[in-house]
């Protein structure tokens, strides 16, 4: 089984593109960048939720790096929140996984007081 990459090429290209906007006063926006990191561990005595006579236990480490970015300007507002949930199973490494989540919300005024674009995803 192929291991999950932390970032695909497409995701890396998107992150690099947005990082170009982070230059001071880019597009006249005021930027607010908030990184975060969560780490926790959990133990389960039945990893696969099987009948108790077939149960297997495991310890799971969860690491969640997160980046929240907000930009606000006269003609553009942007809110991005990216997080990756990395799950590491100590005894069942075939279940290791990375889950990517991106929430984005933006509004752009292309023609003043006439033409706007709203995007959410």
pLDDT in tens, 87-103: 999 999 999 999 999 99
DSSP line for 57-110 = -EEEEEEEEEEEEEEE-SSEEEEEEEEEEEEEESS-GGG-EEEEEEEEEEEEEE
Q: pLDDT band at 19, cuts 50/70/90?
A: low
H or E, element range at 17: helix 9-19
pLDDT mean over 27-45: 91
The span from the CA of 97 to the CA of 62, in Å, is 10
What the block records as the tokens of 113 is 């007081």
The span from the CA of 23 to the CA of 21, in Å, is 6
**What is the reported pTM?**
0.66
């Amino acid at each position: 089984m192929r291991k999950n990459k932390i970032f695909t090429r497409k995701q890396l290209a998107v992150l690099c593109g947005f990082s170009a906007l982070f230059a001071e006063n880019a597009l006249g926006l005021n930027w607010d960048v908030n990184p975060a990191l969560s780490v926790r561990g959990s133990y389960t005595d039945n990893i696969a939720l099987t009948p108790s006579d077939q149960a297997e236990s495991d310890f799971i480490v969860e690491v969640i790096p997160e980046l929240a970015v907000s930009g606000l300007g006269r003609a553009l507002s942007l809110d991005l929140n990216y997080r990756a949930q990395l799950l590491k199973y100590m005894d069942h490494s075939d279940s290791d996984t990375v889950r990517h989540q991106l929430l984005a919300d933006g509004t752009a005024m292309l023609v003043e007081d006439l033409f706007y674009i709203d995007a959410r995803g």
